[in-house]
Amino acid sequence: MKTKRVLALLVLALFGSHAAAARSLTVCADPNNLPFSNRAGAGFENRIAELLARDLHAKLNYFWWQQGRGFVRKTLGAARCDLWPGVPSGLEHVAPTRPYYRSTYVFVTRADKKLGGLSLDDPRLRSLSLGVQLVGNDGVNTPPAHAISRRGLIQNVRGYLLNGAGPNPPAAIIEAVAHGDIDVGLAWGPLAGYFASRSKVALRVQPVTPAIDAGMLPMTYEIAMGVRRDEPQLQQQIDALLERERPRIEAILRHYHVPLVSLGPATAWAGHP
């Protein structure tokens, strides 16, 4: 009996030691931010995080925090998580990985309207109602908002916050186009493609041009993942996996109707896309 008890204790000790050594990967994510992430794990960043965790033989955990002012400081900066997917390649205060996709701001219009071939300099915009996205409670302007303001197109503009308390806040601008509340929505491509594909009203999604406005304001962005600056080994591991898993990652992005632009030289813009 004593021998069996000793063996049992040894097994428990070995199991406990193995469990303690098991790797985990904690991802910073917004709990209500489809198509990127949500608490149910239904976003494409959730899917990509699952892929990376599996490759790392790590248990995937999340630290949930609504994106907005102070997100980096309260998540990666406070060492509450290891990885933040979906950051612009030039974002400060993090160590960015290699980009895993590049996308663009888009014009969203109803397919039954004759609004194909739009550009920021299209004279039709002066007689149309426009919607732009605003970042955070302080309503920071996105690049298309800056671009149309620079052109004096502010008389018929409505702003739509990216974050909020209701379900799927980023969908509001796409729903406004579908309902006819605005004629044109200028939205970040990944969320526009996702919600437009689910609209009961057929919608047209086309890239905002020029791709770089006034030679300094880009409409396309390379998207990377952020890690803490004191984790260079994790950064290197994620870099290698993003390259190795590029076909699977691209398949996930296409499944979510993300408008993809070929990866090229990184943009200098470090703001929110």
pLDDT per residue as tens digits for the range 170-193 = 899 999 999 999 999 999 999 999
Q: How many folded domains does the chain comprise?
A: 2
Tell whether 210 and 111 lie within a shared domain. Answer: yes
Q: Which amino acid is at 42?
A: A
pLDDT of residue 73: 82
The verdict on residue 262 lying in a domain is no
How far is it, in rounded angstroms, from Cα 52 to Cα 257?
A: 21
- Domain range for residue 119? 103-218
Lowest mean pLDDT among 31-45, 179-193, 252-266: 252-266
Q: Would strands 59-64 and 24-29 be described as parallel, antiparallel, or unpaired? A: parallel
pLDDT of residue 78: 85
What lies within 8 Å, CB to CB, of 150 at 6+ separation is: 213, 214
The verdict on residue 270 lying in a domain is no
Query: Of the candidates 67, 203, 184, 204, which has an alpha carbon nearest to the alpha carbon of residue 132?
Result: 184
Is pLDDT at 21 greater than 90 in this prediction? no
How far is it, in rounded angstroms, from Cα 24 to Cα 22?
A: 7
Record the tokens describing residue 30, joined without a space. Answer: 């917004």
What CATH number is associated with residue 73? 3.40.190.10
Is pLDDT at 14 greater than 70 in this prediction? no
Record the tokens describing residue 23, joined without a space. Answer: 């790797």
Count Cα neighbours of 6 within 13 Å in the Cβ-side half-sphere. 3
How far is it, in rounded angstroms, from Cα 106 to Cα 115?
A: 13
What lies within 8 Å, CB to CB, of 104 at 6+ separation is: 189, 207, 208, 211, 219, 220, 221, 259, 261
Q: 201: pLDDT confidence band, cut at 50, 70 and 90?
A: very high
Q: 3: pLDDT confidence band, cut at 50, 70 and 90?
A: low
The verdict on residue 265 lying in a domain is no
pLDDT of residue 10: 46
* pTM for the model: 0.85
How far is it, in rounded angstroms, from Cα 31 to Cα 233?
A: 27
Tell whether 137 and 68 lie within a shared domain. Answer: no
Lowest mean pLDDT among 8-12, 61-65, 154-158, 246-250: 8-12
